[in-house]
């Protein structure tokens, strides 16, 4: 071998060694990158650190180092539960100051339990918690870090917010991550009969089903917050495992398409912004499996990774235990090792195939990059005064790119209450406000109006939302005038009224500039206000819907008062009341200019009752006797912001809107006759300034209060109808050249009352239950549905939700082969009683009729109830309500005439309907339909309009499940596909229940009046089955005397409550308006 060959030989050897060692020396050549990562892991039962070891490997492998240039260590570089050498542990708390961290990573927060820590617990038995669950104080620290700087990325994964995390902490962290938890978690098991399935899963399944755990083979186990178990196995599945795949957006963000099988724990979530879904799971379910999931309202496909990228921070939520990896190599100083693992040795490993490339991509390109902060608001200075808006003849204007542009107002009103509290308790949290603002922004709305001062969390949430939003949400801020004092004094100029109004204005101005500290005061917001939201405040809207008696009294008492000329506002031809308003507006402008050198566009609240038009068709003098004319108030040259008029305008009230003859020929711009558009047109012509409809809308309630000649009624409107009507009203507002409109309202308000139901409930307990008979409670686009995190019962013909709640039958037929009705189950929630009736054979509604006989109040009621076939059911107890489930146009609830609150009210007390001599007698043999009044007798220009009411006890067939394409929120009865199950709801108010949370009902009306009430233990029930007009079955069975005996009936009872269980749901109307708003004013 010559020298040249020898050198070549050694060169090849050296080259071969270099190639073999290249993963190591190439890694050494890579530059380190400083990245400060806070790892939070509360599930560390031993020193394997497996819940975050996989993350630490990636950080070290990619040469990310801490501020001290050192690598990351699994055993020390995390906060949470830390095992020590002496079979003990210590807790390392999250530091108060997180400003030095770039990434906040929350791995498993489930925690450590006694059996895992002190024993082996190979069977997965439950034991007492040593430490675990995300805490509110932790989330507060994270939230502060995200909003106090703009360089943070938050990453969290399962289990961050499932059990045992508290409700408050869960709400806060899901808001930050922009996700909603369904209450369900799940896991794929390769062997359902293997040891990996925890003992508690098997035990819970046996307890809920009464069956032994006998599943074999692979399958998916789903578990809800109440530990209810659903198993997908065999016929439910078409394949094994859960499919993970990136979306189109995910492939773009992560720079690769990924598809793999995921086999560990996951939670079922929903992204609040669908555009943020980067990957999704798909359960391989068959047709039978899909049907089973649908019954439990569980989707078969749901987000796996959700990104929330905004101007302030970026977050990622991994809906799985991704960083949990048992076999992580200690050698990390290599390049390409993960590729080897992916394609050669761990081809089915989710960690190597999916999680590692995802994290590498996020760490490289997906961390939050603070951009140069550009305000989404432009302001203008005139001299030393700053403003953000002005008005022309038709619109409020804002600055865009240095030019004044018309801003078409499209927004919502927002109240100050939620279930379980009255408005004065100011109970809405900052996190709830923040979540709502995101949903309102996603609806393409640009404005929120509030009526009064909100708690500090409102302004903080608005500030933080606008810091992160591309397009701002503007605020029109109202100031409340104490109506009790105003009504008592009748004189707007009284010292008490004016002082209170000015104090409210001053506080409001200080609050929006982040400069207020209000002491606690009953019925008012209080606290420290530190967030300056003045750039986002579009304008002020002073006052309330003015009482016409107060207006007239003020005008009469101060007749001859001179016009007002103030620094910023003046009046011409103004009434004394209008002068008083101008002075308040001037006070407001003066105080803000002196204190903060700001001006905001100005208005005051007005409504149809005090407009400047004459309404000859109005039957009520109170609705057309006073005028408050905004045209009489003008701004001076020193007021540089805008001035506009604002009215609350609904289509069904006052009554002249239905009866004004000149409106009957007016057609809106869509060519349809519209009284509403006619009034808008007439009102708009009277103004020489922009006019905003500050309230409009219809309620999605079961109960109805007013009817509109064009079908835009106040109540008995489905959510879909609500959305379409609101959309139509808004379009007419724009077509008639208004500055825009504000939908009434954002959220349902359980504390509200309405005139035709307010005498039938307990006014002190209204916020504790949902009265769907009271329309005023259900104007919202956001519903508060019964059930925590997930629904209780949907009336949709499906029985899985009954199984989930583990509701046992109240009645079961003694002989199922001989009887039509097999069993009857009853449950209740904050809104209704729900019934499930199972039949032996498919039901024929033409010939098969089911009756429910309900005894709510003792010592009264009918003891003989005639059925359709003229047969009678005799009882030794009084039946107060008879429910018939028959054909679709012949199903209703009847009430014992002696207990009929409608008749007692309008017949006996007010003499407005025909008197019946039998009604005051017990057991009189007469049932009445359940009715609600719509209007009392009216006289319009000499013509009498009779008293009007409607039957609200009629029951409507449909599908009450919001996830169904056939959803109708008015559904009372639903029949299963096989026609062997019927579900029924009865709203509490239809049963004369004044407060279901305390089992309070109306007492004997004829002895104690409508104010009387009593508390019951429950409701006795009997069921009667009629076939071909003959009674074929009763539950309980009749006695030998052919009577149903009280002692044999079952009594349904329920637990009292002080805190209503509810969850938020965006109504169908929300999505209709979302689409409409997306096409307007952009």
Closest among 408, 406, 424 to 416, alpha carbons compared: 424
DSSP sequence for 113-148: EHHHHHS--TT-----EEE-S--HHHHHHHHHHHHH
What per-residue confidence (pLDDT) applies to 334?
Answer: 78
What per-residue confidence (pLDDT) applies to 910?
Answer: 97
pLDDT in tens, 241-298: 999 999 999 999 999 999 999 999 999 999 999 999 999 999 999 999 999 999 999 9
CA distance 701 to 776: 8
Angle, helices 548-557 vs 576-596, to 10°: value is 100
The CA-based dihedral angle spanning residues 346, 349, 351, 353, taken in that order and rounded to the nearest 10 degrees: 80
CA distance 1082 to 1079: 7
3-state SS class at 664: helix
3-state secondary structure string, 405-432?
EEECEEEEEECCCCCCCCHHHCCCCHHH
Q: Does a cis peptide bond (omega within 30 degrees of 0) precede residue 716?
A: no
Phi/psi zone of residue 711: left (φ > 0), alpha (ψ -120 to 50 degrees), beta?
left
CA 700 to the chain's CA centroid: 14
What per-residue confidence (pLDDT) applies to 1?
Answer: 54
3-state SS class at 964: coil
Please give the span between the terminal C-alpha atoms of the chain, in angstroms, as a whole number: 82
CA distance 65 to 269: 33
What per-residue confidence (pLDDT) applies to 337?
Answer: 66
CATH superfamily of 388-783+1064-1078: Glycosidases (3.20.20.80)
What per-residue confidence (pLDDT) applies to 28?
Answer: 73
Whole-Å CA distances, 293 to 194, 214, 465: 24, 20, 35
CA distance 884 to 984: 11
pLDDT in tens, 885-896: 999 999 999 999
Q: Which residues contact 974 (CB under 8 A, 6 or more apart)?
A: 795, 796, 797, 957, 958, 959, 960, 982, 983
> Which secondary-structure segment (H or E) carries 727?
helix 719-735
CA distance 958 to 1072: 21
Whether 346 shows a pLDDT value over 60: the answer reads no
pLDDT in tens, 189-232: 999 999 999 999 999 999 998 899 999 999 999 999 999 999 99
CA distance 357 to 133: 29
User: How high does pLDDT run on average in the chain?
Assistant: 94
Structure tokens at 1048: 């044999």
The DSSP 8-state label assigned to residue 529 in this structure reads E
Whole-Å CA distances, 828 to 52, 600, 846, 890, 1015: 44, 49, 29, 25, 17
Domain boundaries, the chain: 20-366, 388-783+1064-1078, 790-1058
What per-residue confidence (pLDDT) applies to 150?
Answer: 83
CA distance 767 to 423: 9
In this prediction, residues 382-390 reach a mean pLDDT of 96
pLDDT in tens, 675-698: 999 999 999 999 999 999 999 999
> Residue 797's pLDDT band (boundaries 50, 70, 90)?
very high
Percent of the chain with pLDDT over 90: 89
CA distance 597 to 382: 10
CA distance 991 to 854: 9
- Of 891 and 30, the structure prediction assigns the larger pLDDT to 891
How many other CB atoms sit within 10 Å of the CB of residue 898? 26
Angle, helices 430-442 vs 167-177, to 10°: value is 30
CA distance 844 to 980: 10
Q: Answer yes or no: are the C-beta atoms of 280 and 231 closer than 8 Å.
A: no
Please write down the long-range contacts of 501-505, taking CB distance under 8 Å and 24 or more positions apart. 501/542, 501/543, 501/584, 502/584, 502/587, 504/452, 504/453, 504/479, 504/480, 505/479, 505/540, 505/542, 505/584, 505/587, 505/588, 505/591
Q: Within the chain, what is the greatest distance between any pair of CA atoms?
A: 131
Cα atoms in the Cβ-side hemisphere of radius 13 Å centred on 958: 16
> Residue 117's pLDDT band (boundaries 50, 70, 90)?
confident
> Residue 124's pLDDT band (boundaries 50, 70, 90)?
low
Structure tokens at 750: 């359980």
Q: What is the gyration radius of the CA atoms in the chain, in angstroms? A: 33
Q: Answer yes or no: are the C-beta atoms of 380 and 599 closer than 8 Å.
A: no
pLDDT in tens, 309-335: 998 999 999 999 999 988 888 777 777
CA distance 186 to 242: 10
pTM, rounded to two decimals: 0.94
Whether 122 shows a pLDDT value over 60: the answer reads no
């Amino acid at each position: 071998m010559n020298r040249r060959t020898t050198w070549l030989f050694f060169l090849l050897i050296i080259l071969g060694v270099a190639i073999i060692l290249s993963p190591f020396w190439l890694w050494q050549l890579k530059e380190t990158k400083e990245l400060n990562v806070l790892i939070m892991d509360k599930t560390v039962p031993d020193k394997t650190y497996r819940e975050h070891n996989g993350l630490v490997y990636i950080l070290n492998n990619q040469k990310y180092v801490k501020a001290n240039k050192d690598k990351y260590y699994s055993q020390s570089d995390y906060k949470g539960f830390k095992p020590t050498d002496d079979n003990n542990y210590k807790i390392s708390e999250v530091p108060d100051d997180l400003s030095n961290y770039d990434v906040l990573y929350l791995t498993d927060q489930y925690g450590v339990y006694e059996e895992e820590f002190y024993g082996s617990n190979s069977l997965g038995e439950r034991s007492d918690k040593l430490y675990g669950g995300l805490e509110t104080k932790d989330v507060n620290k994270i939230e502060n870090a995200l909003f106090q700087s703009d360089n943070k990325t938050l990453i969290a994964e399962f289990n961050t917010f499932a059990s045992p995390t508290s409700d408050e902490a869960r709400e806060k962290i899901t808001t930050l991550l922009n996700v909603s938890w369904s209450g369900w978690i799940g896991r794929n098991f390769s062997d359902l009969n293997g040891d990996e399935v925890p003992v508690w899963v098997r035990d819970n399944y046996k307890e809920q089903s009464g069956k032994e755990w006998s599943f074999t083979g692979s399958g998916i186990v789903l578990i809800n917050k109440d530990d209810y178990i659903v198993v997908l196995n065999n016929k439910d599945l078409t394949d094994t495992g859960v499919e993970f795949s990136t979306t189109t957006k995910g492939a773009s963000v992560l720079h690769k398409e990924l598809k793999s099988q995921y086999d560990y724990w996951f939670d079922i979530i929903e992204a609040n912004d669908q555009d943020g879904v980067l990957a999704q799971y798909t359960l391989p379910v068959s047709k039978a499996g899909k049907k089973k999931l649908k019954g439990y309202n569980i989707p078969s496909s749901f987000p796996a990774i959700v990104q929330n990228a905004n101007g302030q921070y970026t977050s990622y939520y991994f809906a799985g235990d991704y960083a949990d990896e048992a076999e992580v190599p200690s050698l990390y100083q290599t390049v390409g090792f993960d590729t080897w693992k992916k394609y050669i040795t761990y081809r089915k490993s989710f960690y190597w195939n999916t999680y590692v490339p995802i994290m590498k991509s996020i760490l490289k390109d997906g961390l939050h990059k603070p951009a140069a902060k550009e305000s989404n608001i432009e302001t203008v200075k005139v001299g030393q005064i700053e403003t953000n808006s002005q008005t022309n003849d038709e619109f409020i204007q804002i600055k865009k790119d240095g030019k004044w542009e018309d801003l078409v107002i499209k927004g919502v009103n927002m109240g100050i209450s939620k279930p379980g509290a009255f408005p004065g308790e100011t109970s809405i949290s900052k996190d709830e406000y923040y979540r709502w603002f995101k949903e309102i922004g996603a609806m393409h709305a640009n404005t929120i109006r509030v009526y009064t001062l909100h708690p500090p969390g409102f302004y903080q949430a608005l500030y933080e939302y606008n810091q992160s939003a591309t397009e701002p949400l503007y605020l029109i801020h109202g100031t409340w005038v104490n109506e009790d004092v105003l009504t008592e004094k009748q004189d707007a100029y009284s010292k008490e009224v004016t002082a209170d109004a000015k104090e409210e204005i001053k506080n409001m101005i200080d609050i929006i500039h982040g400069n207020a500290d209000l002491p606690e005061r009953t019925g008012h917001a209080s606290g420290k206000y530190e967030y300056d939201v003045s750039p986002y405040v579009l304008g002020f809207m002073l006052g309330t819907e003015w009482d016409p008696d107060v207006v007239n009294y003020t005008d009469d008492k101060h007749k001859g008062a001179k016009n007002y000329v103030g620094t910023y506002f003046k009046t011409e031809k103004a009434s004394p009341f209008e002068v008083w308003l101008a002075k308040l507006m001037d006070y407001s402008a003066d105080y803000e200019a002196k204190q903060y050198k700001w001006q905001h566009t100005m208005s005051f609240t007005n409504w149809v009752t005090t407009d400047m038009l004459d309404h000859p068709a109005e039957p009520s003098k109170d609705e057309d006797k006073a005028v408050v004319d905004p045209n009489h108030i003008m701004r001076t040259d020193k007021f540089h912001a805008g001035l506009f008029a604002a009215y609350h305008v609904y289509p069904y009230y006052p009554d002249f809107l239905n009866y004004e003859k000149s409106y009957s020929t007016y057609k809106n711009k869509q060519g349809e006759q519209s009284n509403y558009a006619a009034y808008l047109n007439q009102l708009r012509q009277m103004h020489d300034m922009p006019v905003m409809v500050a309230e409009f809308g219809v309620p999605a309630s079961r109960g109805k209060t007013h009817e509109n000649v064009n079908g835009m009624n106040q109540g008995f409107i489905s959510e879909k109808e609500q959305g379409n009507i609101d959309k139509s009203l808004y379009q007419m507002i724009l077509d008639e050249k208004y500055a825009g409109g504000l939908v009434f309202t954002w959220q349902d308000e359980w504390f509200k009352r309405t005139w035709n139901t307010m005498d039938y409930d307990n006014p002190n307990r209204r916020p504790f239950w949902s009265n769907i008979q009271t329309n005023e409670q259900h104007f919202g686009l956001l519903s508060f549905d019964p059930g925590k995190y997930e629904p209780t019962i949907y009336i949709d013909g499906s029985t899985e939700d009954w199984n989930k709640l583990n509701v046992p039958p109240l009645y079961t037929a003694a002989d199922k082969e001989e009887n039509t009705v097999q069993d009857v189950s009853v449950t209740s929630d904050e809104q209704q009683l729900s019934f499930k009736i199972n039949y032996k054979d498919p039901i024929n509604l033409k010939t098969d009729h089911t009756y429910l006989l309900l005894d709510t109040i003792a010592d009264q009621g009918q003891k003989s109830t005639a059925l359709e076939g003229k047969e009678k059911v005799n009882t030794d107890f009084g039946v107060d309500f008879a429910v018939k489930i028959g054909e679709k146009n012949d199903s209703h609830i009847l009430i014992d005439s002696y207990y009929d609150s409608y008749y007692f009210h309008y017949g006996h007390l007010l003499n407005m309907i025909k008197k019946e001599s039998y009604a005051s007698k017990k057991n009189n043999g007469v049932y009445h339909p359940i009715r609600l009044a719509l209007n009392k007798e009216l006289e319009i220009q000499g013509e009498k309009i009779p008293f009007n009411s409607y039957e609200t006890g009629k029951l409507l067939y449909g599908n009450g499940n919001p996830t169904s394409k056939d959803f109708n929120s008015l559904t009372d009865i639903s029949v299963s596909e096989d026609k062997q199950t019927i579900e029924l709801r009865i709203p509490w108010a239809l049963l004369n229940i004044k407060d279901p949370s305390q089992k309070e009902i109306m007492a004997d009306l004829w002895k104690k009046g409508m104010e009387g009430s009593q508390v019951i233990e429950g409701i006795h029930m009997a069921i009667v089955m009629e076939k071909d007009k003959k009674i074929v079955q009763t539950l309980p069975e009749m006695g030998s005397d052919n009577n149903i005996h009280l002692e044999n009936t079952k009594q349904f009872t329920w637990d009292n409550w002080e805190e209503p269980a509810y969850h938020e749901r965006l109504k169908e109307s929300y999505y209709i308006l979302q689409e409409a708003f997306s096409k307007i004013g952009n």
